[in-house]
Amino acid sequence: MQTFPIRRSRWGLLFLVPRSPERRQATIDGGRLALRMGILGRADVPIDQIASVGTMLWPWWAGLGVRIARGLVAFVGASGPAAVLELTEPTEVRAPLKWTATRIAVGAEDVEGLIAAIARARGVTSEPGA
């Protein structure tokens, strides 16, 4: 099992902590990626439903918390880098109401580590110099 905390800003601490007493994290375990952001946001994504993973910069003006954007649900506690999961099929997410997503952004503290862990769980490896 690998756990990646979701990055927080001071604004996130100020406004999100009172509303989400639970941990904010992404956990890879047993062929699933579990995303939790307090009691307001959650997703359980089978690793085999992740088609690809890329990155994006989450803008400060898009907000913090579990955010719904066009075709995307984001789990972000601060602006900055985020991993973007492209899914093979729509997946149910709680954001805080039930929502269906085909892409999920995760603003982990260690975005590159999360991407590498997802790649290992998917059985994708990259050879040096490839």
Strand partners, 83: 55, 106
> What pTM does this model have?
0.85
Q: Residue 130: inside a domain, yes or no?
A: no
Q: Residue 81: inside a domain, yes or no?
A: yes
pLDDT at 113 over 70: yes
d(CA 81, CA 91): 23
More confident call, 11 vs 56: 56
Q: Residue 127: inside a domain, yes or no?
A: no
Total structural domains in the chain? Answer: 1
Domain that holds residue 104: 2-122
Q: Residue 35: inside a domain, yes or no?
A: yes
Element (H, E) at 114: helix 111-122
d(CA 66, CA 84): 14
User: Which token pair is 107?
Assistant: 């603003």
Q: Residue 129: inside a domain, yes or no?
A: no
Average pLDDT, the chain: 86
pLDDT at 130 over 70: no
Q: How confident is the model at residue 39 (pLDDT cuts 50, 70, 90)?
A: confident
Interval 48-98: pLDDT, tens: 999 999 999 999 899 888 999 888 999 998 999 999 999 999 999 998 888
pLDDT the model gives residue 23: 72
Q: Residue 87: inside a domain, yes or no?
A: yes
Strand partners, 57: 81
